[in-house]
Amino acid sequence: MTNSELQNRFSINTDKSKLDLDVIHNFLRNSYWAKNIPLSVVQKCIDNSFCFGVYEGDKQVGFARVITDYASFAYFSDVFILEEYRGFGLGKWLIETIMAEAELQGLRRWLLATKDAHWLYGQFGFEELKTPEWFMEIFRGDVYKDANR
């Protein structure tokens, strides 16, 4: 689909009141990166992030959030397009929209972690860490294992 065709059928916006928490939670709790995440945590993540929803009419079909200080740093998180809507170019359009967002211009560093979409983010200038020895993390991969849903 061309961008024009996408924009005629789908929309992207940052209005948190339009986000479908059930769609987002259902996807994330089944994802490899947020397995079993509780609904309350998803809500808190949304409350404290710059969020983008992708819609076909009123139906939410995609999501992304950016964790940022709006001055120097941003981190992409929880980016997805529902499986039945993949292949239309929505993921690429979503990333284009985020990267063009006026409030996110002039940032010194963008980061993300992905197991399976390097090809997509590479189109927007993302590369492997140039200095991985500068980065450290605390990773608790099973933090939601026994969480209530």
The predicted-structure confidence for 25-57, as pLDDT tens digits, reads as follows 999 999 999 999 999 999 999 999 999 999 999
**Alpha helices by DSSP H, 3-117:** 3-9, 21-29, 39-47, 90-100
pLDDT in tens, 72-127: 999 999 999 999 999 999 999 999 999 999 999 999 999 999 988 899 999 999 99
Fold of the CATH domain 3-134:
Aminopeptidase (3.40.630)
Q: Please tell me the pTM assigned to this model.
A: 0.91
C-alpha dihedral over 29, 33, 38, 42, to 10 degrees?
Answer: -100
Question: Could you tell me the maximum CA-CA distance found in the chain, to the nearest angstrom?
Answer: 45
Amino acid letter, residue 24? I
